[in-house]
Chain A
């Protein structure tokens, strides 16, 4: 199977090159035969890479330890669930996974792109094939070949890193990869629009959908990654501003900016240059993130090992950035705005400021991530740009951005009158101020949290007001009940109201983040029967009683488990178990250092988070760390709401929003009908 896989990689390399060449030449010379060949090449590329993926999976499931990759990432006793994820748990396999998924997206784009966007397809085929071919070439020449044979075949493999043996890690990398990879499609359409000079509004429609797909996958990937860090790493948090986390956040921020500014282009025909720059920038940042993750240039807890792969990505990034810049600059004269801004107090302007903040935040995260290198270059001093610095710099920016999240929907397009502003802001501002006063009276003095909760209430007020007004209008117009009217709003205007749901999700996430300001923790050494007490920020006193230690063997690990009885204000609320796991191979030999499994009791107000640090002198006397994390549940719930909102936006159907310069606006037509109905 390894030979078949290896041959498939070579076939994919050649087919990908062919697809890229025929796509570019066929597009430039308007030759249908070459265009068709480029299209066919995308399917052949996917087929070849699918064969490679299947070959590697078969090798993994057959425990073919003659392959370095299989021997280094799996063992005979690795649970089947994690055998699947072994495909992308290492550098080489993840490159293959990346290339295969990109080729799948490339093929799907060729199959499902609507007829009116067909002109872009040869270039889209060329670009997706070229990028996939680059990934294949990294595997073949870097070298990072998953089918590389080992010098000898061991009896058993080294096993998978225990921290990767978590359900979160089965879903987190593919989701993140799907997000990263699918950015190539909007990028390919944007480049195709630039190359074909067909820069009317049509390319936007194709790009927007794919950008939402990428944004959604990246969001899910980031959220599952946060959840994994929380339940698996044991430090009691979910975001540590690690370079690899930051690398995923950068394109997410840029795509979020695009998803807002694209509305300005759709409605007013403005910001064409800016929108194209955002799409190109998001893709370049995704490659930059891949470079950061795989080069080892910046120390990170979960980057791949330092390898020559990084140089390939750096070279690719530089060449791609230059190519993008040349094409973009050459086409700038074709990207003039169709209309001008009429007022600074308008939704267009508010979206511009929203974009400024999002891009500023992306720059800030990038700056912080690279600052240790920059400092070494400039002042010759190594420094650490840790979470306290990131928080100091980015929390104020995040709060301003949250505030703008509320302001955007309140300001009218074109020009907002004073009456309009007063009418729109009255309720949300009242809600925000009311929340601030309640919190101050309740004794909260943490500035960041006060602002987060108050601004969050303001944003919630704006969204509630939008839904209430829309539902009331439908009730007046069609006599619908409130619940049905809200459903109709969501169903008929998915982009707008789905977007509002995403805004609610952002509020929930900020509420969860702010809760961490009130975290309490303590360490204790307990014999069985002894208790430790810790007061949570919810005002309750929690008592943890150590019940004892048990040791037993599981499939691929030897477990040392501590059981604790938990009481809140003296009332029994359940038990928590936290473990130490020594992973072993099929022969019983330890494969990694013992890892920790956190015990978590999650609630709406607080999470009880217990970590078994270890045992004292080999006895049942154990050292524990107890942490009470407020409002963490809301982070996961916010993530869930965000995904629901994103899906509503993405779901096909609803009222078609006309793009400026393409058709008459159905919204205007609808408005005329409404006026007519009132006569």
Chain B
């Protein structure tokens, strides 16, 4: 008996449902031509706005070819049918209690490494991350060495200091030195 609805409870629920329908009709009436507004959208759920889900989706690439991550694609290209489906996959896996890394691994297992917005930092991919930086550091090292060599050569090849111009007084030379120091560059 406890599982059966009482008559009063039944009417209360029915009235609430009718009220909700009326509310919908009054506050969210049908538009003239829904087709013009593109694909119909499902109402946003709390899971859609979940920061953890968003963080995972920002690491996964949408497979529609847009080059965007799943989160950006599903919140930008509203005609895309891939990103909403991939979003549901993420939600499903999260609902199974999987961690973020496990969800990423699932996607890699299913779609390959191309599913990740960043290649895993291992093996040859380390070159993808660090080659430019290492190349710049190595080039800077050699540049510095070359510059030092040039300056040493310049010092070695420098002519003997020119004799002071006979008409320059020590005061003038001091003023020249001060002025040179004042020059910004």
Contact = CB atoms under 8 A, between A and B. Distances in A.
A619 B24 contact: yes
Given A341-B150, A342-B154, A594-B37, A420 B43 contact: no
Contacts of A671: 179
A528 B176 CA distance: 77
Interface string A463-477: 001100110000000
Interface of A is mostly: mixed
Contact of B124 (A353, A368, A375): A375
B100 to A, nearest CB: 14
Interface stretch (A113-121, A181-189, A234-242): A234-242
A29 interface: no
B112 interface: yes
Interface string B132-151: 11011001100110011011
A389 B119 contact: yes
A361 B133 CA distance: 9
B38 A594 contact: yes
Contacts of A341: 147, 150-151, 154
A614 B128 contact: no
B147 A392 contact: no
Interface string B109-131: 00011111111000111001101
Interface in B161-178: 172, 175-176
A240 B67 contact: yes
A614 to B, nearest CB: 4
Contacts of A469: 184
B18 interface: no
A411 B139 contact: no
Given A371-B128, A379-B124, A528 B44 contact: no
B32 A240 contact: no
A378 interface: yes
Nearest to B132: A364
Interface in A605-628: 611-623, 625
A551 B112 contact: no
A367 B28 contact: no
A388 B140 CA distance: 26
Interface residues of A, number: 95
Given A235-B76, A344-B144, A396-B133, A409 B184 contact: yes
Interface stretch (A97-105, A201-209, A519-527): A519-527
B99 interface: no
Given A388-B118, A397-B133, A615 B69 contact: no
B96 interface: no
Interface in A487-536: 521-525, 527-530
Which residue, of B66, B76, B117, B184, has the highest number of chain A Cβ atoms within 10 A? B184
A651 to B, nearest CB: 22
A340 B157 contact: yes
Given A242-B67, A397-B133, A623-B41, A383 B116 contact: yes
A401 B115 CA distance: 32
B66 A301 contact: yes
Contact of A235 (B40, B68, B112): B68
A321 to B, nearest CB: 20
Interface string B26-44: 0111111111111111111
A300 B66 CA distance: 7
Interface string A583-608: 00000000001101000000000000
Given A379-B124, A551-B36, A386 B75 contact: no
B130 to A, nearest CB: 8
A549 interface: yes
Nearest to A412: B185
A612 B61 CA distance: 23
A410 B185 CA distance: 6
A523 B157 contact: no
A479 interface: no
Nearest to B75: A625
B114 A560 contact: no
B65 interface: yes
A482 interface: no
B176 A675 contact: yes
A357 to B, nearest CB: 7
Contacts of A386: 61, 67, 69, 117-118
A556 to B, nearest CB: 13
A343 B151 contact: yes
5 closest A-B pairs (Cβ-Cβ)? A618-B34, A364-B132, A386-B117, A594-B38, A614-B41
Given A360-B139, A389-B128, A671-B179, 4 more contacts: A342-B151, A352-B143, A386-B67, A622-B41
15 contacts: A301-B66, A340-B154, A342-B154, A356-B136, A383-B116, A383-B128, A388-B118, A410-B185, A558-B36, A580-B37, A614-B38, A616-B41, A616-B43, A620-B30, A620-B31
